[in-house]
Amino acid sequence: MGRAVVIGGGITGTLTACELLADGWDVVVVEGQHVGAGSSSRTAAGIRQQFSTRETVLGMRYSVGVYRDWAETMGGGGEPIQQNGYLFLYDTEGQWEAAQARVADQHAWGLTEVEALNAAEVADRFPFVDADTILGGTHCPTDGFLRPEVVYNEAATALRMRGGELRQNAIVTGAEHAGGCLVAVQTSKGRVEGDVFVDATNAWTRRVGPLLGGLDLPVAAYKRYLWFLERGDAMSPAELMAMPLTIAPSGTYCRPENSGSLMVGWKHSAPDVSADFTYEDQDAVEAAHSHKSGIDARPFEAWMALAEVLPPVGEFAGIVATTAGFYGTTPDHNPFLDVDPQVPNLIRLVGFSGHGAMFGPFAARVAACLAQAGRSIDSVEVLGEDAELASFRIGRPFSHGESMVI
Ligand SMILES: Cc1cc2nc3c(=O)[nH]c(=O)nc-3n(C[C@H](O)[C@H](O)[C@H](O)COP(=O)(O)OP(=O)(O)OC[C@H]3O[C@@H](n4cnc5c(N)ncnc54)[C@H](O)[C@@H]3O)c2cc1C
């Protein structure tokens, strides 16, 4: 089949490398620092199938299956997925009606286990929710969250054990072309030739894509924060560990990190720093977003917003840590999964818009189909059905994007 060069060793790159190897390609991954050096080690790693379009629901059903069957297919000892479910809560008529209509669509798209629950049903099933503060919620029990380090580390190990190559500290600095196609990339660890190339650099793609002769895709790098709340006595360890990833009407979300700690996130407006952020910038915490900045800072606002609907969370002991990373975000919150129109043997898997951990297996499958076809394709078959790729195409209009963004 030839040689595939995957640029970037996060969840997308390592899973894509394994998929290409399984399809018969010789594979080399070139990673600028080390496996997991980007957003993949800084993620909340939620995985949900509750989306607003058929292709994403189908794609995420496929991803859940891959993570569930991980030990069998990847051969490692880890279990990457914890299926605690996702619980979206709503407090306005308009949003609650739209959510119920979405559940009907999701059923039609094969996500039969998702349910719309009225406020009393939510509180009955999830006693930590105050029924008086909501109109209802949607719950999908097979959603959940990942241990991302299991994903990229075990995928990298499987890649090497099956004959693939992983070059770390090999930052791509240039590219060579012949007849309009890429033939090699230059890296800080030498030249790497290939027949097909995959850009899996997500938040870095505005710098890496043009370096490869590809389009400058609209993928903004936005800072996102996570905060960690210590449990105290408000919930038992078992109650905390059983919590679904819960999204409050304000957009704040939380999920158990471990039996003593709740992870909390909330998006905010941030500048696009895709042109020049450094590796160190990923972990930089602005004062306004630090738990060390006092009770006027964003983490305390997030904690209080959660406590309005989840009273026991208001009784937690305190915020003990802040972490950060970048989302690589497109204008319509769908990723680009396509061949670059300027370079026929360059596949772009970027712009995951905060969904890259869950998209990983699906993106890898799409990449393998694109590599096999050697051109843009209209759909891929997953779970015996065709997932249309128009929403992930480079050059699409950005008018019909993903509406469920957190
Ligand atoms: C706070 C936060 C919360 C999140 N929550 C979720 C969530 O709940 N669910 C979800 O699915 N996603 C979530 N995400 C998003 C998710 O983490 C990312 O979409 C995903 O990790 C992207 O993986 P990736 O492999 O595409 O990119 P990355 O993990 O960023 O990997 C890109 C790699 O490219 C390498 N690279 C860059 N430039 C070069 C170069 N020139 N040469 C060689 N290598 C290079 C980098 O070193 C890096 O390792 C969250 C992200 C953050 C920051």
Model confidence at 404: pLDDT above 90: no
Q: Is the CB of 9 under 6 A from ligand 1?
A: yes
Query: Nearest Cα to 143, choosing from 52, 45, 69?
Result: 45
What is the CATH code of the structural domain delimited by 3-76+147-218+331-392? 3.50.50.60
Question: Per residue in 287-319, pLDDT tens?
Answer: 999 999 999 999 999 999 999 999 999 999 999
Q: Is the CB of 40 under 6 A from ligand 1?
A: yes
For the chain, give every domain's residue range: 3-76+147-218+331-392, 83-142+220-329
Closest ligand 1 atom to Cα of 171 = 42
4 strand-pairing partners:
27, 196
Q: Is the CB of 326 under 6 A from ligand 1?
A: yes
Model confidence at 400: pLDDT above 90: no
Calculate the average pLDDT of the chain: 97
Q: How far apart are CA 227 and CA 42, in angstroms?
A: 12
Q: Is the CB of 227 under 6 A from ligand 1?
A: no
350 strand-pairing partners:
336
Residue identifier of the C-alpha nearest atom 20 of ligand 1: 356
Question: Per residue in 372-397, pLDDT tens?
Answer: 999 999 999 999 999 999 999 999 99
Sheet holding 26-30, edge to edge: 165-167, 26-30, 3-7, 196-199, 346-350, 336-339
Q: Cβ atoms within 10 A of the Cβ of 193, count? A: 12
What would the mean pLDDT of 170-178 be, rounded to a whole number? 98
> In angstroms, what is the span from residue 40 Cα to ligand 1's centroid?
4
Question: Per residue in 123-161, pLDDT tens?
Answer: 999 999 999 999 999 999 999 999 999 999 999 999 999
Q: How far apart are CA 234 and CA 239, in angstroms?
A: 10
Q: Is the CB of 364 under 6 A from ligand 1?
A: no
Which helix or strand (DSSP H or E) is residue 160 part of?
helix 148-161
> In angstroms, what is the span from residue 203 Cα to ligand 1's centroid?
7
> In angstroms, what is the span from residue 405 Cα to ligand 1's centroid?
17
Report the percentage of the chain scoring pLDDT > 70: 100
Q: How far apart are CA 95 and CA 251, in angstroms?
A: 12
Q: Which CATH class is domain 83-142+220-329?
A: alpha beta
Tracing tokens 């991980």 back to the chain, one arrives at 70
* pLDDT value, residue 396: 96
Pocket test for ligand 1, best of 43, 81, 186, 278 (most atoms within 8 A of CB): 43
Structure tokens at 267: 């998006």
Q: How far apart are CA 310 and CA 129, in angstroms?
A: 5
Question: Per residue in 210-234, pLDDT tens?
Answer: 999 999 999 999 999 999 999 989 8
Model confidence at 401: pLDDT above 90: no
Q: Is the CB of 143 under 6 A from ligand 1?
A: no
Residue identifier of the C-alpha nearest atom 2 of ligand 1: 43
DSSP label at residue 53: S
Which distant-in-sequence residues (6+ apart) come within 8 Å of 305 by Cβ?
A: 248, 250, 252, 266
Closest ligand 1 atom to Cα of 187 = 42
Residue 58 phi/psi, 5-degree rounding, is: -65, -45
Structure tokens at 285: 């915490």
Q: How far apart are CA 272 and CA 179, in angstroms?
A: 34
Report in angstroms the alpha-carbon separations of 199 from 16, 144, 357: 10, 28, 16
* pLDDT value, residue 75: 87
Q: What is the pTM of this model?
A: 0.98
Report in angstroms the alpha-carbon separations of 253 from 132, 207, 244: 19, 31, 10
CB contact at 8 A, 216 and 249: no
